[in-house]
Structure 1
Amino acid sequence: MATAAAAAKPKRPAPSSEQMNARVFLYSILLALQYGAQPLISKRFIRREVIVTSSVLTCEIAKVVCALIFMARDGSLKKVYKEWTFLGALTASGLPAAIYALQNSLLQISYKNLDSLTFSMLNQTKIIFTALCTYLILGQKQSIQQVGALFLLIIAAVLLSFGEGSGKGSSGSNSDHILFNGIIPVLVASVLSGLASSLCQWASQVKKHSSYLMTVEMSIVGSLCMWASTSKSPDGEAIRKHGLFYGWTLLTWIPVMSNALGGILVGLVTTHAGGVRKGFVIVSALLVTALLQFVFEGKPPSLYCLASLPLVVSSISIYQKYPYRVKKKEL
């Protein structure tokens, strides 16, 4: 009888490699569009009056809702409900969530003080810190070509920092504002991103968490940490005085929801495709940002951006093309 029942309910066949490749390609295209457009739509649709913490908190809540919907749709929600433990979630997602929450706040500040292409290119320095953290935490080594690619990326970041910090405007105060409210926050966010990415990679290898589950856990923990920080932060005082959605319009939801879906797409691309496809996404996103900035703002890239763009593209391409390979010992 049990055999007959099992035969009556055949398991859903696993997707073929071609179907999986097509799915990963779709995820990659969507992530490239989201990643490239995010600085532009955030700058355009999030008013300066909007409290940074309110947009980050709302984004994290949106991630949880979207991830739960996707888990219910693919049938994994029941299994997670039965097997989930608080200790396991805190071990796998607690520290990365807190780090990502701080990173998101820094990125929100940088969005408002840098042009879209400069922000996207400086944000690529997170690859350097990801490589360093994965080596320190996971022992993942880099090839000689990858080390050279990382140096190219460092040169591009320094060039951008020097150009944006000293060449914009004639007043020193404006240069200091760009440096301390645009360049430094995004570079610190890159360091945090590298650390959090390495911790997530460690958690996925040890705990075998799905990308959706990691998204839910990290968003909840990050939201709680951020909400706790509002007790003494300037943003917390602003929220108590003006309300959580002070300065919001209907258009503010566009970048918030876009950022939430982008967070889910990052997990899917990393889970199903790894770093090679993610490198394609990053390169494509830079081109998307440059194109959208020219089309919608009518502003061509600066000379510093034009000089740095080939360095960034070349470094990421080299890094993904020449991975580290363990040499076989000769007998």
Structure 2
Amino acid sequence: MATANGAKSSSSLATADGANSPKVLLYSILLTLQYGSQPLVSKRFIGKDVIVTTFVLICEIFKVVFALILMARDGSLKGLSKEWTFMGSLTASGLPAAIYAVQNTLLQISYRNLDSLTFSILNQTKIFFTALFTFIVLRQKQSIQQVGALCLLIMAAVLLSVGEGSNKGPSASNSDQVLFYGIIPALVASLLSGLASSLCQWASQVKNRSSYLMTVEMSIVGSLCLLVSLLKFPDGEAIKRDGFFHGWTALTLVPVISDALGGILVGLVTSHAGGVRKGFVIVLALLVSALLQYVFEGKPPSLYCLVALPIVMISISLYMKYPYTTRRRRRRRSKDPFTD
């Protein structure tokens, strides 16, 4: 027991030291700024005339480029031709790719019709859907504290949905636009994100797919799905009429690059510091969203946001700090003499 405890203490100390290193601190600060500023950056630099599908397609191209660079750097790109198969790729990445393609489109629609803080808070409901689908797909259980945290998260989402959606301001049509083109797409995107995340985790564990390779595969398949959708949806006609880059400026590349780099930072923070640090980064990012919205838009958070924000912060903190532990580990804490 002494050896086990000593090993555990050493491991915990090493993890703590790594999580507090200057490099990890830098990653955490950059991720906080990126995550908190992404809604505002997208809203300011993506013009109303930009066709949503074209933006998503360019984002996917940048993801592929960054993933290939990272694969070349770690040496995994060299043996790719021997290991990769079309059926293996389609089985592992096909469905998640199609789901992410729809999710990304919904996110871009939601960006344009919600303020930055409201979007950031609603976006946190993906934690609930991720937990739900990982239980369904992978039988991954949650602790009592985590279940309570997820309930708090849903309370905040319902509060925002009812409050912002029923806020009859100067015109009811504006309120309907917020509900149907802002809140509902954000919630559906979060549901799809949870489903796709669980499928990706399944592919990683069962199919042994590397995260970089899956990024490339899903971006390519997702792009193909979007291109096919252009045959039936209005964006296809808009591209034929106005051109692929209609409404684009040089600044439109800012949210594209930011989104791609954000995915890399999430992986760096998680691998070096764990999910707890990433959870606190998300909480801090919500505060960054509120601050940036006030500074650049002069718009203070609504009453519904002010009530929902602390609920979301408490929820994410609880969820990350109290992971599920097996009964075997809990029984080690004490022995009941009457159960021998």
Same fold by TM-score greater than 0.5:
yes
- For the residues of structure 2 that align with 1:100 and 1:65, how far apart are their CA atoms? 18
- SS state at 1:325 partner: coil
- For the residues of structure 2 that align with 1:43 and 1:121, how far apart are their CA atoms? 16
User: Is 131-140 or 64-73 further displaced after alignment?
Assistant: 64-73
1:267 Cα deviation (Å)?
Answer: 4.1
- Are the equivalent residues in 2 in contact too, given 1:215–1:264 (CA < 8 A)? no
Pair 1:62–1:189, CA change in 2 (3 A): same
User: Is 286-295 or 229-238 further displaced after alignment?
Assistant: 286-295
Give RMSD over aligned pairs. 1.9
- SS state at 2:133 partner: helix
Corresponding residue number in structure 2 for 1:326: 326
Corresponding residue number in structure 2 for 1:67: 67
- SS state at 1:167 partner: coil
1:20 Cα deviation (Å)?
Answer: 7.9
- For the residues of structure 1 that align with 2:82 and 2:272, how far apart are their CA atoms? 25
Pair 1:176–1:250, CA change in 2 (3 A): same
- Partner AA of 2:117 in structure 1: L
> Is 1:29 aligned to 2:25, yes or no?
no
- Are the equivalent residues in 1 in contact too, given 2:94–2:221 (CA < 8 A)? yes
- For the residues of structure 2 that align with 1:207 and 1:273, how far apart are their CA atoms? 26
- SS state at 1:77 partner: coil
Pair 1:119–1:207, CA change in 2 (3 A): same
1:236 Cα deviation (Å)?
Answer: 0.8
- SS state at 1:112 partner: helix
Aligned pair count reads: 316
Corresponding residue number in structure 2 for 1:305: 305
- For the residues of structure 1 that align with 2:19 and 2:316, how far apart are their CA atoms? 24
- Partner AA of 2:261 in structure 1: L
Is there any run of 5+ residues in structure 2 with no aligned partner, and where?
1-13
> Is 1:144 aligned to 2:144, yes or no?
yes
- For the residues of structure 2 that align with 1:273 and 1:185, how far apart are their CA atoms? 32
- For the residues of structure 2 that align with 1:30 and 1:164, how far apart are their CA atoms? 30
- Partner AA of 2:283 in structure 1: V
User: Is 69-78 or 251-260 further displaced after alignment?
Assistant: 69-78
Corresponding residue number in structure 2 for 1:173: 173
- For the residues of structure 2 that align with 1:205 and 1:175, how far apart are their CA atoms? 44
- For the residues of structure 1 that align with 2:19 and 2:206, how far apart are their CA atoms? 24
Q: 5 Å matches for 1:3-42? A: 22=21, 23-42=23-42
TM-score if structure 2 supplies the norm length? 0.88
- Are the equivalent residues in 1 in contact too, given 2:92–2:207 (CA < 8 A)? yes
> Is 1:102 aligned to 2:133, yes or no?
no
- Are the equivalent residues in 2 in contact too, given 1:211–1:264 (CA < 8 A)? no
1:125-148, CA deviations, whole angstroms, 9 ceiling, x for partnerless residues? 111111110110010111111111
- For the residues of structure 2 that align with 1:272 and 1:33, how far apart are their CA atoms? 18
Corresponding residue number in structure 2 for 1:222: 222
User: Is 118-127 or 278-287 further displaced after alignment?
Assistant: 278-287
Pair 1:267–1:217, CA change in 2 (3 A): farther
